[in-house]
Chains A and B, each alone.
Chain A
Amino acid sequence: MTSVNDVTIIYDPCYLDHDTGGDDHPEQGARLETILAYLSSCEDLAFCYKPPRPALREEILAAHDESWLNRFEEAVLSGRTFIDHSDNQIGYESYQVAQVAAGAGLVGVDCLESGEETTVFCMGRPPGHHAERNMPFGFCFFNNCVIAARYWATRYGRKRVAIFDFDAHHGNGIQSAFEEEPDTIYISIHEHPSFSYPGTGYHDEVGLGSGRGTILNLTLPPGGGDREMEALLTEQAEPFLVKHQADALVISAGFDGHVNDDMSGLHYTTDLYRTIGSTVRRWGHDYCDGRLLSILEGGYELSVLGESVAAYLIGLSGRSRP
């Protein structure tokens, strides 16, 4: 059993300032408040909290075009309420908050590389895995996981970064960023794209050109649950990760596959997230010399989001269930 402080949560209250227009929008500040409240009520779970920093412009440009940064900044400053699609709601603070959400992963990488911390969970918003190089998608503006992966590679020379994504939805933005690269790896387990946003992530999307074979999309039909997910984890995702010998592992951690979360048709139980946490902890230790960073993506059902994240963190910390 490890010390409880082996899980460091990177969080800043400014994340609540990303205004998506009220309760009508699923991606709202209450998500993080709910998680915080749940974690604080778990008396036998004591996490260490650390503040993030805003990602620098050049650090974000590792994953996005300057034209998109300009367009995003202009949109919020001009008082617009969404960009490109009404899903992508913004407020006056959204650009700055997105910079801080992107910067959390960079602080996390620094903590891991310095040996200061061993397991880090970035609990920010807006989420990132749908964001494309040039445009927002599905509540995402900056691709936090890709920005962290680029930073890990350039700052610390960890060129072979793998991202494992267990959000119920395919991370089209991560795949787009990685799919032509031979060194980066993307593994996603999600609801079948015929039935689920964003309609990408078919099994035969395996990468392009020199990146062919570096993408693994594993899909579950609507109604897919713990047993099917666990089988994919151990029988397909893990061998793929082992084969590609990653230097570092970023987890795109989404909790909207929960059976009570109607943003997907998946039927995961809360307990599955503990299994996923302990599994990726083992992957990080066994295959990446402990270099394991988790970044929050989706998860919208407030009645189960707190317990789902707590279950994941318990698994991630190596603690047995309280």
Chain B
Amino acid sequence: MFIEDHMTRQPETIRGGTLLPEARRLLNECHFRHLPVVDEQGGLLGMVTDRDLRSAYPSSVLSEEERRSVFGRVEKTSVDEVMSTELSWLTPSSTLDDALLIFDREKLGALPVVDNDQVVGIFSIRDLISAYKGLFGVGEKGSALLFIRDDGREDLLRTIISILEEQKIPFTRLMRISKPQQKARIVLRINTFKLAKVHHLLADAGIEVVHA
């Protein structure tokens, strides 16, 4: 659940004085889209993305003369002139939920991870998807989703958990959905082929499995 378990450690970084052609080469060669820009001590100064570089390079609709002129300026431009300095970042002890909130709010593709004023990692939206996929058991062979009608009784979750634990049935998700305009459901991802047995045990406890 913590960023340190899912981030890319010791990421490629770049210094602020690096010229844009070198930054572009690095992004292309390493297939990155985001580079933390750091100072001599490895402290975070900014972030530069492939989008920042594309914006700096001349448009293909310009005339040849105009393109040459812009290229000339780009070749002398350093990263710190185009990088983003209004930064959001994570720490190794941030949670996946923290990252989700920042990605959702800031519309970013990756976040630097900073510890003791040093860039120690990078965490992307792809990393977030992969982490939640693993935590929720999505795509994991040997599991299936069950939807349970939430009748509002207080001991419902406790009863479900007791049944699963008594039967030694592993589960990777137990989620109570109680949002307005959504059906009151409990979503359960269990790891067993013996779904019918689970259905029977739940039914015996007065719990209804539904299909949607």
Contact = CB atoms under 8 A, between A and B. Distances in A.
B196 A87 contact: no
Nearest to A202: B139
Given A85-B192, A262-B199, A263-B196, A198 B211 contact: no
A197 B146 CA distance: 11
A26 B168 CA distance: 17
A172 interface: yes
B141 A263 contact: no
Contacts of A265: 211
Contact of A262 (B141, B168, B193, B196): B196
B168 to A, nearest CB: 6
B174 interface: no
Contact of B142 (A199, A262, A264, A300): A199
B193 A200 contact: no
A199 B191 CA distance: 9
Contacts of B140: 199
A138 interface: yes
B211 A223 contact: yes
Interface in B156-212: 168, 191-197, 199-200, 211-212
B199 to A, nearest CB: 6
Interface in A261-319: 262-265, 300
A196 B189 CA distance: 10
A139 interface: yes
Interface residues of A, number: 29
Given A87-B192, A262-B196, A195 B144 contact: yes
Contact of A199 (B143, B168, B196, B211): B143
A86 interface: yes
Contacts of B193: 87, 130, 137-139, 169, 197-198, 263
B160 to A, nearest CB: 17
Main secondary structure of the interface of A (DSSP, over half): loop
B102 interface: no
A198 B192 contact: no
A195 B145 contact: yes
Interface in A198-257: 198-200, 221-223
Contacts of A198: 141-144, 193
A262 B194 CA distance: 10
Interface string B97-111: 000000000000000
B196 A200 contact: no
B74 to A, nearest CB: 39
Given A85-B142, A300-B196, A195 B191 contact: no
Residue among B137, B140, B195 with the most chain A CB within 10 A?
A: B195
Contact of A86 (B138, B139, B168): B168
Given A197-B143, A199-B140, 20 more contacts: A26-B194, A26-B196, A26-B197, A85-B191, A132-B141, A193-B144, A194-B145, A196-B144, A197-B144, A197-B195, A199-B137, A199-B142, A200-B141, A222-B211, A223-B211, A262-B199, A262-B200, A263-B195, A264-B195, A265-B211
The 9 closest A-B pairs by CB, nearest first: A262-B196, A138-B193, A222-B211, A199-B143, A197-B193, A197-B144, A87-B193, A198-B141, A263-B196
13 contacts: A86-B192, A87-B142, A137-B141, A169-B193, A194-B145, A196-B144, A197-B192, A197-B195, A198-B141, A221-B211, A262-B199, A265-B211, A300-B196
Interface of A: 24-26, 85-87, 130, 132, 137-139, 169, 172, 193-200, 221-223, 262-265, 300
